[in-house]
């Protein structure tokens, strides 16, 4: 944490920061819901817009690829201030959602979902850097873990509410509601987060893209984190894209029952995020990531072995996604400290590399499944996770927080 804030840890400061992060977490719940709801409700969007189902899946793919654009905005956050970019990101999400609800045309909804992904790619790194600037490293896991509960919350709370709105009203209702609440969030965040002085914080000293990327390329720890995030995400999506087919083929699940299995993953994510918040700081963030990577790789190997009944299969998925979520969220906590002079640049770069890893993993999962079923998928995912572990240890071998 920079000197500007190191001497400001007073009870009033703590209460103010807790309020800010609570509101930010609720805002992230909105943003995450806007990003995730097209997946389960693709058929409703298809019917409402009068387009083929494949047209909606194309929208989803475009939404997913927006994470690759995140590094374009990280240096801007380090230069202009995290508050400004958080408001910009949330404003983009709100504008896109309102446009999609008010103008029910395919092209507009395409832009709306693109803006939802883009806004998240701007908002999340700025928020992560904001936390890194103001929360001591010894409490970083707690802060990031609590913020990340909004990701599980989007599955457990946000998406069911979207389903209720579509069922009671129509498919456009979630767009309007999320957009309206997003505008309210812009006003509230703008009010409770204090304005930053231009270049006042230590993190804002890198004032152009060239300096930001030079800082990133020079640091071995930064390169190790980027590589670790890439392979960890590739491993997870290789399995994530085929787990539904596995459950259907192995246990004959219908679509409704299969949809309910998403609750298992959502609860596992919640437990993983809570575990980061409560345990990662005590164990140490570096050590916690190593433990998480080992448990995740073992989970990939064990899933094909123990998943002989539906109960054991769901238990295996629960353990796997708990370990993965604990690892990835703890890794985000650590990432906020790797480049303290360019926090948003670092976090946004990790968002991009993990997003790219997910895309490649999704493309890899299908062929692996056809080649050797769940066993082959589990073995390859475990190997990729071990590779992530090796690169993480290489990158952070001598790294110490400043």
Region 66-86: mean pLDDT is: 77
Residues constituting the chain: 402
> What domains lie within the chain, and their CATH numbers?
3-203 (1.20.1250.20), 212-395 (1.20.1250.20)
Q: How many CB atoms lie within 10 A of CB 244?
A: 15
291 CB neighbour count, 10 Å cutoff: 18
Whole-number pLDDT of residue 261: 75
pLDDT tens, position by position, 30-51: 998 988 787 767 777 878 888 8
**pTM for the model:** 0.80
Residue 225 pLDDT grade (very low, low, confident, very high; cuts 50, 70, 90): very high
pLDDT of residue 331: 92
Q: Alpha-carbon dihedral of residues 184, 188, 191, 194, nearest 10 degrees?
A: -120
Q: What is the pLDDT of residues 158-188, one digit of tens each?
A: 888 888 888 888 889 999 999 999 999 999 9
Tell me how far apart the alpha carbons of residues 37 and 118 are, in angstroms, rounded to a whole number.
16
Concatenate the DSSP letters of all residues of 177-237 into one string: HHHHHHHHHHHHHHHHSPPPPTT-SGGGG--SHHHHHHHHHH-HHHHHHHHHHHHHHHHHH
């Amino acid at each position: 944490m920079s000197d500007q804030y190191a001497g400001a840890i007073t009870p009033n400061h703590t209460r103010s920061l807790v309020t800010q992060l609570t509101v930010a977490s609720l805002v992230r719940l909105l943003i995450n819901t806007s990003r995730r709801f097209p997946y389960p409700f693709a058929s409703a969007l298809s019917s409402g817009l009068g387009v083929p189902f494949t047209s909606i899946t194309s929208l989803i793919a475009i939404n997913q690829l927006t994470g690759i654009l995140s590094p374009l905005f990280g240096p801007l956050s380090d230069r202009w201030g995290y508050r400004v970019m958080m408001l910009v990101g949330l404003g983009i999400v709100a504008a896109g959602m309102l446009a999609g609800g008010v103008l029910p045309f395919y092209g507009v909804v395409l832009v709306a979902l693109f803006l939802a992904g883009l806004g998240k790619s701007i908002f999340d790194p700025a928020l992560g850097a904001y936390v890194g600037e103001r929360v001591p490293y010894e409490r970083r896991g707690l802060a990031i873990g609590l913020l990340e509960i909004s990701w599980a919350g989007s599955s457990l709370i946000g998406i069911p509410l979207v389903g209720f709105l579509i069922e009671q009203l129509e498919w456009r209702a979630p767009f309007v509601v999320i957009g309206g609440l997003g505008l309210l969030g812009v006003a509230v965040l703008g009010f409770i987060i204090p304005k930053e002085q231009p270049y006042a914080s230590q993190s804002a000293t890198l004032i152009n893209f060239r300096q930001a990327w030079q800082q990133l390329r020079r640091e071995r720890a930064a390169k190790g984190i980027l590589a670790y995030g890439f392979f960890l995400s590739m491993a997870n999506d290789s399995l994530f894209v085929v787990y539904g087919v596995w459950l259907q083929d192995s246990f004959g699940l219908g679509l409704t029952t299969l949809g309910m299995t998403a609750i298992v993953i959502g609860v596992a994510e919640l437990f993983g995020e809570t575990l980061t918040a409560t345990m990662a700081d005590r164990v140490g963030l570096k050590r916690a990531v190593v433990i998480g990577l080992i448990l995740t790789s073992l989970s990939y190997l064990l899933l094909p072995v123990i998943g002989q009944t539906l109960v054991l299969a769901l238990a295996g998925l629960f353990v796997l996604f708990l370990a993965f979520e604990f690892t990835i969220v703890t890794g985000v906590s650590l990432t906020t400290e790797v480049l303290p002079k360019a926090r948003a640049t670092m976090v946004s770069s990790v968002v991009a590399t993990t997003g790219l890893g997910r895309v490649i993993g999704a493309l890899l999962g299908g062929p692996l499944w056809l080649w050797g079923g769940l066993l082959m998928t589990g073995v390859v995912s475990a190997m990729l996770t071990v590779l992530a572990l090796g690169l993480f240890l290489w990158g952070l071998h001598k790294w110490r927080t400043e």
